[in-house]
Amino acid sequence: MLRETSYWENIVLKLDSLLIYKKIADDRVLTSFRRLCLMLAVEADVRDSHRGLYEFLSLLASRAEELSLMGEIFRKYLHYLYLTDVNAFSMACESRTLTSSASIAKLALKDVQILKFLSEVDIANIIESFGDDEEIESYWPAQIKENPYLDRIMEAGAAEAKLSMLQWYYELIGCGDFAEHKMYGVDDSGEIYAIRESDPVVFSDLIGCEYQKELLRSNTEAFLAKMQANNMLLTGSRGTGKSSCIKALVNQYHDRGLRLIEMDKEQAHLMPKVLEQLKGRGKSFIIFIDDLSFDDYEVKFKYLKKIMEGGAAVKPQNVLFCATSNRRHIIQEKWSDREGDELHAMDSMNEKLSLSDRFGLSITFPKPNPQEYTGIVVELARRMGIDIPEDELRKKALEWELSQKEMSGRSARQFIARLAWEMKNLHV
């Protein structure tokens, strides 16, 4: 039997009473659930209520698939919303600025008590009351992906225990998208968005450049320890591993709160808005601009230079700039810059060097020589299980390099991928 009318009204009242976690009530699934409760409260036409029920179940099942939720998915989804919500309480926990006497913690506790109440709603009973038998509360998604943090918070019984677990999670992992993902992009309006499938590259995938890797690690360790760290400029030929090293860096230090924000040089004017979104967060961010270079007639580099050092938009302490470039000094230089009177030539050169000077740590990634290049190929072949005599493998690699006009780690990986495919077809 369905509960009495006042029960459904009470659920709506609870949802409307959220203070700190107010945004949760605007979630599509909970908005649909709220409409269903209103229908049940006023004993609406059974066809309308039935339609409302299945609208809610459809949205719930869709989110369960997206998030790989299993079992009591309504209860799990409620806890997921609390776990990922960005609000004044979760932000204070993430940045570790919450004091034990803070009023916001008491308000958050009231909202967690509402979570506990909503978690006890028997969805299966609602379904059965319409004569249906959907197994929505013993759900099994197509793709199983365990979330141990979610399970631990669900297991906490009392509201006080749940709040303590949420605080622990926000401090350790963070809140919102910055808790769930490693790498992010910036849209045309300056809003940061998560890159759901980011590059999983790790340092062990990148053969060679050990000295460069160590410089990157050392500077990043200082940054994460909140000590003096330098903006980083990685220069060198195409395909030498500059961008991959930065992504490997984030993958290595993600558990310590490091995140990557990738921007394009054309988005330099959006930097103040991006920095505003990062200010006050409890995570550390590398703003990464790949293939940074400007022609001599462009003025965007002046804007970026002001942002990086002492401009109107001050760089937060939790932000570090990193760029890769095929040009050592980023700005295109011409012989005409060196011509004319000595003072003018010096001013022109200094202006063009000024942006690269803002990067305190400059790391060069040299193009490998033939011995180093073929050495990378041999190691990649070993990892791929390609069984070819080493002399023959090195010879084939050099032949490939002549056709590709590039001797680099990237070219070596492309050669091995091609070779693996040819050998597979040979044995079909």
Instruction: Look at residues 286, 296, 299 and name the one whose alpha carbon lies nearest to residue 329.
Output: 296
pLDDT tens digit sequence for 177-217: 899 899 999 999 999 999 988 999 999 999 989 999 999 99
pLDDT class of 428 with cuts at 50, 70, 90: very low
- The DSSP bridge partners found for residue 157 are none
Residue 295 confidence (pLDDT)? 58
Average pLDDT of 45-49?
A: 89
Residue pLDDT, tens place only, 300-352: 556 676 777 655 556 789 999 999 987 655 555 554 555 554 444 454 445 55
Listed range (9-23, 120-134, 187-201) with the worst mean pLDDT: 120-134
Query: Residue 128 — very low, low, confident or very high, per pLDDT cuts 50/70/90?
Result: confident
Contact between residue 365 and residue 236 where contact means Cβ atoms under 8 Å apart = yes
pLDDT of 381-390, one tens digit each? 999 888 889 9
**Per-residue pLDDT tens for 354-373?**
666 778 899 999 999 999 99
331: left (phi over 0), alpha (psi -120 to 50) or beta: beta
For residue 98, give both structure tokens: 């919450």
Tens of pLDDT, residues 231-250: 999 998 888 899 999 999 99
SS3 call for 54: helix
Domain 183-198+209-365: top CATH class: alpha beta
Please give the Cα distance from 168 to 40 (Å, whole number).
Answer: 37
Percent of the chain with pLDDT over 90: 56
- CB contact at 8 A, 153 and 172: no
Tens digits of residue pLDDT in 256-277: 999 999 999 889 889 989 999 9
pLDDT digits (tens, 9 = 90+) for 390-418: 999 999 999 888 887 778 888 899 999 98
pLDDT of residue 64: 93
Of 114, 118, 120, 121, give the one whose Cα is nearest residue 163: 114
Q: What is the pLDDT of residue 2?
A: 56
The pLDDT of residue 335: 44
Q: What is the pLDDT of residue 353?
A: 56
Please identify which residue in the block is written with the tokens 């070779």.
419
Query: Predicted confidence band at 117 (pLDDT cuts at 50, 70, 90)?
Result: very high
State the average pLDDT over residues 92-103: 88
The answer, yes or no, to whether residue 19 has pLDDT greater than 90, is yes
Please answer whether residues 12 and 41 qualify as being in contact, where contact means their C-beta atoms are separated by less than 8 angstroms: yes
